[in-house]
Every structure is written in structure tokens, then in C-alpha cells.
Amino acid sequence: MVKLKSNDDKEFEVEEAAVIQSEMIKNMIEDGCATSVIPLPNIDSKTLIKVIEYLNKHINMGKAAETGEEDDLKEFDEQFVNMGWEELFDVIMAANYLNIHELMELCCQSAADRLKNKSVRAVREMLKITNDLTEEEEQEIINDAPWAFEGPEIDDTVN
Amino acid sequence: MDYFQLLPEGCVSNILSFTSPKDVAISSATSWGFNSAAESDVIWNKFLPDDYEDVISRYVSPQIFPSKKELYFSLRDSAILIDGGKLSFSLEKKTGKKCFMISARELAISWGVDTPWYWEWISHPDSRFVNHVSDQEAEQRASVISLVEKMVRRRKRNVKRPRKRSDGWMEVELGNFFNDLGEDGDIEARLMEISGFMEKVTLLFKELSLDQHEEEIVQSYNIAYVFS
């Protein structure tokens, strides 16, 4: 078992087979730097619980392919990313920091799917982006690729 | 709170690499942070075809692009000549899929060699290639070609009426094929007169084009002859 500590001082025990899906922790274990608790100063306990849930589920990925449980895993993944933007970004940052490639891909794909065909206004509103471009700068960007800003598929709704 | 401001730029680029060129352009107009993340090679490398390095290495006049984004738009905006000028390559404007064009010179044209009273080779100002073939007289038959592309199973044989393209040339779609059998093989496409021997004059033959389909993940292409 490997002990992980979140930035709000909560400790979690995770099986080594699960936790080594994180390249960062795998390297630490290989280098003998994971003798006691591994502190994760960038990750809060709420996010870490999500990440551990993912790691535990994906521990037997190779086995799932053999036993035909891929559908089950796919369903889990779909459910897993069913979260708000803020939570999704927390998991992306954690996956980035821990270097968990599959989790990163899953979450980035989910974020990308939500942005698909959205208008500038919809993207700003969904992500609560503060527009720090001047009107001229924005127009310049649009003039650079006018083809991207037109078309019946552009979706101005926020959801 | 601006969620995206919390994310490292690398993560934003990573997310954008799962979208499309259109979505990236739209995102880049939302804020400076997005605009800067949208320049990343991580994104444009993913939008370029998997084998783009191989294609670029066959470029007639090698060129260095400062970024993957510039390379992407350069290929999208104008075709490049490859393989000593026999083929041209570009990316489809909307989808970013691969388009190959085969010069008329590379096609096997009946009565196309040393018989100028049938076919004459001319240079056309529109052409990216050096020569077109023009049928001055008589019987126009044409072209068996072997493409060094990937292919095999012909899905449907659906020859359509020619349509006029925006550049004024006529294009006839010959059909499409689907490949799931690996990298090497030949495909043959023919265009010929089958209903009579009416004389046709000033028929210009420009090129043969191969366009990768939008929806297919596997190699799938449209074939079309372009003429006027």
C-alpha cells in the first residue's frame, strides 16, 4: 500500500498496482522516495478521492480487455466525467501533476466535447471567462479565420 | 471565477487538441489566455494528418515552418507539389483531411503520347502542375492509372454527372473506396467514352484528385477527374 496526503492533510491508502498508473508516483517508488507518506501539495482531498476512484477502477484495465468488461469500464468513464467544469478542471490539474495519461485524455476529451461548435459568447459564459481582449483585438482574431465564425452548426446555448 | 485562468496553459492546449480547428479559432477569440494556448504545437500537430512528416519530406521545394499552426494553414490554403512535381498535396479547407492531386502527365492516356493530333500537352495558367492534356480532336478515351495510394475494397460504383467547381473547372466524381488492408496496393480508376465516337474538341484534362473522407477513421477517399 502507498499512502498519499492531500493539501488539506487527509491521508489515503492506495494499492501500489493502482497508484503506479501515475508516472510521477511510479518514478518516486522506483527511486525509493516513497517510503512513508507522499504529500500532494497541489491536490485537495475532494479531487484526490475522485482520482483514486479512477485509479482503482482502472487497475485491471488489461484484464478487462480479456474478460470483456470493457463496456463496464466505458460506462464508468462516462459517469466519471459527468461533473461540473470546476471539478473537471481540478481533476485535469491533478492528472497533469500526477502524470496519469489516460485520465488526462479522458477529461480533456470531455472538456473538448462540451466546447464543440459553441459560439464565442457561449464559451465565455460556460467557463466564466473574463474577456481581456479589446474589441479591435477580438476582431483581428476573427478576421484571421473568418470561416470558423460562421456556419449553421455554431451553437450559442450554454449547457 | 475564471475557471480557465486556474489551468496551466499546457492543460488548456491539451484540451483544445481534442477539439477541431474551428473550435480552436472560436476559443482563441474569447481571451488572451485562450489565444495564447491556441498557438501550441500540441494542438496543430494533432490536427495534421498522422503521416504529414512523410508527405512534407517529399516536398519539391523544402521549406521550414516556424510552427505547426503555420504549417497547417499553409497546407490548407494552398497545395504543395511533392514527388518531383507528379503529385500535389493539400488539406481540405473545412475538415483538414488529406487531398492528393495527380497531374494529368502522370495518367496513362490513350493516344496521349507522341500523337498531338489527338492530345496535345499545354500549360494552363491555373495549373499547379506544368502540363495538362488537351484533346484537340476526335475520340476521347482516357486513362488508366495506378495510384500509389492505399486502398482496396471498392464500396460502391457511383459515377455522377460532372459539376462545376468554384474555380471554373468541371469535376466528375468517379466513386470512392475504403481501405482497411494496410499500406500498400494499387487502385485503378478509368474515365472513358462508352456510348459513341462523337468528336470532342478543346477538352482540357487537368488532374485527378483523391480526397480523404470526413467521417471515416480509416483511409477512405473520393476520386474525381477534373477537366473543362
**Residue at B43 is within a domain:** yes
B170 and B215 housed in the same domain: yes
Q: Which residues of A touch B72 (CB under 8 A)?
A: none
**Residue B64 within a domain:** yes
State whether B48 and B102 are in the same domain. no
Per-residue pLDDT of chain A (159 residues; tens, 9 = 90+): 899 999 999 999 999 889 999 999 999 988 887 778 899 998 999 999 999 999 999 886 656 666 667 778 888 999 999 999 999 999 999 999 999 999 999 999 999 999 999 999 999 999 888 888 999 999 999 998 888 888 888 888 887
Are the beta carbons of B29 and A127 separated by less than 8 Å?
no
pLDDT in tens, chain B (228 residues): 566 677 888 999 999 999 999 999 999 999 988 999 999 999 999 999 888 888 888 888 778 888 999 999 999 888 888 888 888 888 887 778 888 888 777 777 777 777 777 777 776 666 555 444 544 322 222 222 222 222 233 334 444 567 777 777 777 777 777 766 666 677 777 776 666 666 666 667 777 777 776 544 334 455 566 665
Q: Is residue B135 part of a domain?
A: yes
User: Does B117 reside within a domain?
Assistant: yes
Residue B115 covered by a domain: yes
pLDDT at B4: 66
- Specify the pLDDT at position B146: 25
Q: Quick one: B120 and B33 in the same domain?
A: no
pTM of the model: 0.75
Domains in chain A and their CATH numbers?
A: 2-115 (3.30.710.10), 117-159 (no CATH)
Q: Using CA atoms in the order A118, A121, A127, A128, what is the torsion angle rounded to 10 degrees?
A: -170
Out of B8, B23, B26, the one facing A96 most closely (by C-beta) is: B8
pLDDT of residue B81: 85
For the stretch A104-141, pLDDT in tens is 999 999 999 999 999 999 999 998 888 889 999 999 99
| CB-closest option in B14, B22, B35 to A141 | B35
Nearest to A22 by CA among A35, A8, A4: A4
- Chain A nearest C-alpha distance from B150 (Å): 30
Q: What is d(CA A73, CA A60) in angstroms, rounded to the nearest whole number?
A: 10
| Complex-level ipTM | 0.89
User: Which residue segment(s) compose the domain that B15 sits in?
Assistant: 8-77
Looking at the fold, whether B190 and B128 belong to one and the same domain comes out as: yes
| Inside any domain, residue B26 | yes
How far is it, in rounded angstroms, from Cα B172 to Cα B178?
A: 19
Report the residue of A100, A141, A143, A154 to disrupt the B interface, i.e. the one with the largest count of B CBs within 10 Å.
A141
Query: Do the domain assignments include residue B3?
Result: no
CA neighbor of B143 nearest in space, from B59, B35, B50, B227: B227
Question: Given B1, B34, B94, which is nearest A128 (Cβ)?
Answer: B1
Comparing alpha-carbon positions, the chain A residue that sits nearest to B93 is: A147
Distance from CA of A10 to the nearest CA of B (A): 23
Q: Name the residue in chain B with its Cα closest to that of A89.
A: B7
Q: How many domains does chain B have?
A: 2
B47 and B113 co-located in one domain: no
Are B26 and A119 a contacting pair at CB < 8 A?
yes
Q: Tell me whether A83 touches chain B (CB under 8 Å).
A: no
Does residue B151 lie within any of the structural domains?
Answer: yes
Q: Which of B31, B52, B77 is the last residue of a domain?
A: B77
Same domain, B133 and B158: yes
In 3D space, the residue among B51, B44, B18 whose CA is nearest the CA of residue B219 turns out to be: B51
Question: B49: which 3 cell numbers?
Answer: 494528418
Angle in degrees, 0-180, between the axes of helices B21-28 and A120-127, rounded to the nearest 10:
70
B213 and B149, same domain (yes or no): yes
Check whether residue B53 and residue B112 sit in a common domain.
no
Q: Are residues B128 and B213 in the same domain?
A: yes
pLDDT at A14: 92
**Cα B107 to Cα B105: distance, rounded to the nearest angstrom:** 6
